[in-house]
Structure 1
Amino acid sequence: MKTWNQSTVTEFIILGFPSTKHIQILLFISFLFTYILTILGNITLLVTLQREPRLRTPMYFFLSTLYVLEIGYTSVTVPKLLSVFLNRDRAISLSACLVQSYFFFLLGSTECFLLAAIAYDLYLAICNPLRYPALMSSKMCIQLALFCCVTGFLNPCLPTFLVSRLKFCGSIINLFFCDVPPLLSLSCTDAYVSATTIFISSSIIVLGSFLMTSLSYTCILVTILKMTSSKGCQKAFSTCTYHLTVVSLYYGTVIFMYTSPEAQKSMKVNKVVSVVYSVGTPMLNPIIYSLRNEDVKKTLRKMLLNMFPARK
């Protein structure tokens, strides 16, 4: 502990979800089950997409990248939360807290732009089917994926640096992981510049990618409404509906948390919202994006039959 005009905190306590012992056990089982399901679901579909040559298309390339992100996204927060539920290790050092916050921000930012890339790919496939192979080439796929990753890597750098320069007096993080908003609330130095910079950065990333995604889906909807084939219209609309479900769920909660000043008024609501986008969507994405697709289901079924052949 370094001594300044007042003690500076260098270790925090993750509060998590305070409750009775029985509730803690129930929560531990629920989050452990969700975590295992998320990891197994994303890995299974990732392997499935890689093993089937017919599924090596731009859409499934982006989905494979998304599944890798989801594995990392949920692994950044849930293991520590499980430890907190068992009351084994609620403490986390300032450096470890900043690392967790950085990677959570990195993966979240990357996912925002990746969802926009998936929406753009759908837009090209539905609105420009004849030019689609030329517009969404392998080179373009790699460039878009790299843009998402590089942007996600750079975006948390300034916020993390600004937070690292603050001095902290409080030590209780009223959340289940190290996130920027609760860290700012524990600062005993003026955090206005840091908070404003982080708010602007988050708004640009989240709202910018959300607008790009919304624009793609708006163009898709207009194209669908102009279709003369009812079968084609139904198929396209069905595909977009499932994608819009996860996009709305993810962006709705993230926008509430990071671009709404009102979000700081209720930490109980913040915890619920945080669970939705950091634990819920990584589990739902494989189901919504892939298991609604007949080609993926056939490939998955074939792979499982090869692994576990039926006994004669």
Structure 2
Amino acid sequence: MIDHANHTSTQDFILAGFATTGTLQPLIFLGTLCIYLLTLAGNLFIIVLVQADSGLSTPMYFFINVLSFLELWYVSTTVSTLLHTLLHGCSPISSALCFIQLYVFHSLGMTECYLLTVMALDRYLAICHPLHYHAFMSRQVQLWLAGTTWVAGFSAALVPASLTATLPFCLREVAHYFCDLAPLMRLACVDTKWHAWVHIVVIGLINACNLVLILGLYGGILRTVLNLPSAASRAKAFSTCSSHMTVVTLFFGSAFIVYVGPPGIPAKGMDKLIALVYTLFTPFLNPIIYTLRNKEVKEAVKRVIQRIKAVLKGP
């Protein structure tokens, strides 16, 4: 019989990170740091621009603003340990910080999952019910929907985080660059199949339900758009949804591969590479996706620049 008390006496875990050596190590570190700083700059740019320009005071840009705010915290949750492991190799992390990172990371991830569904609902109402859109999406409703996504995300993450935190651990080295569910469960002294299936059911059910809702809403959008009289109006309607669908594909695709696929299937090290997609590259790409070829954003930038120039010139 295993004495769990003896195995839980060690307070620190060791994050293995990526096996990088030689001249590539500082280059990868600098590249990752640049991506992180650009991610912060891009998302802050969207937040400031939406707040500064009244032309972007629409429900769609309100939710994009909320997404950008979320991404600032989401990317920062894991990038500190990622950069530390890239620079120093294996890095210690206390069990308390490890489980806090696990909980916050999954809370923000599930919040984004719900938020992407709300953003799909916003596009559905704007395209399928344009006459009642502003009545449906009043400022009060926007704030309520945004707040609900945060409450739902942070509540749902309690299940996988608390189950993992209560496991007895025999080993200390986490084969990842941050504390995540599967790498931590591999260190447990007990059989974790039941825990793994609970995680799949909870995270998978939330992801699947939200994805089904998004696909259903876009099915309604597609029917409405195809019935529009002109090609120009159809193109305009599709253009307002293309950015959101790109983000949805990146987010749900990587999440399902890592968290909903059968346990133990990913090849060694592949889970870390896939995790980079949604922990680093998706937050980096989101501001680009939402501003690239976006005439409203370009016009807003011009208006803000003109106001700044007018202020600098003085009366």
TM-score scaled by length of structure 2: 0.92
1:60 aligns with 2:49: no
- The match for 2:121 is 120
Contact 2:4 2:168 in 1 (8 A): no
Distance of aligned partners of 1:246 and 1:133 in 2 relative to their CA distance in 1, 3 Å threshold:
same
Paired with 2:70 and 2:224, the residues of 1 have a C-alpha distance of: 31
**Residue aligning to 1:131:** 132
2:38 matched residue in structure 1: 37
Aligned to 1:170: 171
Partner of 2:190: 189
Query: What amino acid is the match of 2:7?
Result: S
Q: Any conservation in 1 of the 2:20–2:86 contact (CA below 8 Å)?
A: no
Cα offset, 1:151, TM superposition:
0.4
Distance 2:94 2:307 in 1: 47
Deviation at 1:307, TM superposition (A): 5.1
Question: Greater CA deviation, 129-138 or 114-123?
Answer: 129-138
C-alpha contact 1:73 1:104 (8 A) present in aligned 2: yes
Structure 2 residue matching 1:131: 3-state secondary structure: helix
Answering whether residue 87 of structure 2 is matched by residue 95 of structure 1, we say no
Matches within 5 A, 1:1-312: 4=4, 6-8=6-8, 9-87=10-88, 90-261=91-262, 264-304=265-305
- C-alpha distance in structure 2 between counterparts of 1:101 and 1:189, whole Å: 20
Three-state SS of the structure 2 residue aligned to 1:267 is coil
In structure 2, how many angstroms separate the alpha carbons of the residues matched to 1:30 and 1:263? 30
Contact 1:13–1:90 at 8 Å: present in 2 too? yes
Q: TM-score normalized by structure 1?
A: 0.93
Return the offset for 1:197. Answer: 1.8
C-alpha distance in 2 between matches for 1:222 and 1:134: 22
What is the CA distance between 1:308 and its match in structure 2?
7.2
CA RMSD after TM alignment: 2.0
- C-alpha contact 1:31 1:82 (8 A) present in aligned 2: yes
Q: For structure 2, which runs of at least 5 residues remain unmatched after alignment?
A: none
Name the CA distance, whole Å, in 1 between partners of 2:23 and 2:184. Answer: 29
The residue identity in structure 2 corresponding to 1:245 is: T
Aligned residue for 2:191, secondary structure, equals coil
Runs of 4+ in 1 over 4 A off after TM superposition: 3-6, 304-311
How many Å separate the matches in 2 of 1:263 and 1:255?
A: 14
What is the identity percentage for the equivalent residue pairs of Structure 1 and Structure 2?
38
- What secondary structure does 1:92 align onto? strand
Decide which moves more: 88-97 or 146-155. 88-97
CA distance in 2, matches of 1:170, 1:89: 14
Alignment check: 8 A CA contact 2:43 2:287 kept: yes
Contact 1:256 1:263 in 2 (8 A): no
CA drift of 1:64 comes to 0.8
Whole-Å separation in 2 of the counterparts to 1:305 and 1:28: 38
35-44 or 256-265: bigger deviation: 256-265
Structure 1 unaligned blocks of 5 or more? none
Distance 1:223 1:61 in 2: 24
- 1:305 to partner: Cα distance: 5.5
- Is this contact kept in 2: 1:257–1:263, CA < 8 A? no
Structure 1 pair 139–62 and aligned structure 2 pair: CA distance change class (3 A): same
Does the residue aligned with 1:21 lie in a helix, a strand or coil?
coil
CA distance in 2, matches of 1:200, 1:36: 35
CA contact (8 A) 1:174 1:267 kept: no
Once the two structures are overlaid, the 10-residue window that deviates more, 178-187 or 236-245, is: 236-245
